[in-house]
Amino acid sequence: SYVLTQPPSVSVAPGQTARITCGGNNIGSKSVHWYQQKPGQAPVLVVYDDSDRPSGIPERFSGSNSGNTATLTISRVEAGDEADYYCQVWDSSSDHPLVFGGGTKLTVL
């Protein structure tokens, strides 16, 4: 089945920009979705279809996708952004079509 690779952890100081990557074979040809999960809470969709934001998600959250890497970018990082972030795609060619990345722990220093 399709594999998505995320770095286990990313650290950033408040006010700086965090970039979380999601690697996959020709991932640029697929739609990538990103979820934020804080401890003890259900995941929340923060970016869908590579770069669209659901209503209520700050403009500080943005996404891009090209080649073999998709990226979630969080600008002007705040303490409240500290969470686990997961990328997700649908691979229609696979018997196991829906895949999540392993997750990235964002730490705000």
Report the interface residues with another protein, using CB under 8 A: 1, 31, 33, 35, 37, 42-45, 48-49, 54, 84, 86, 88, 90, 92, 95-103
**Signed CA dihedral, 26, 107, 55, 102: sign only:** positive
Question: What is the identity of the amino acid at 69?
Answer: T
Which residue reads 């969709």 in tokens?
45
**Cβ nearer to another protein, comparing 35 with 108:** 35
3-state SS of 11-48 is EECCCCCEEEEEECCCHHHCCEEEEEECCCCCCEEEEE
Nearer to another protein, 35 or 81 (CB): 35
Closer to another protein by Cβ: residue 25 or 90: 90
**Least distance (Å) from another protein to the CB of residue 1?**
7
**Nearest approach, Cβ of 78 to another protein (angstroms)?**
22
Q: Residue 98 or 109: which CB sits closer to another protein? A: 98
Q: What is the CA radius of gyration of the chain?
A: 13
Considering the complex, what minimum distance in angstroms separates the CB of residue 85 from another protein? 11
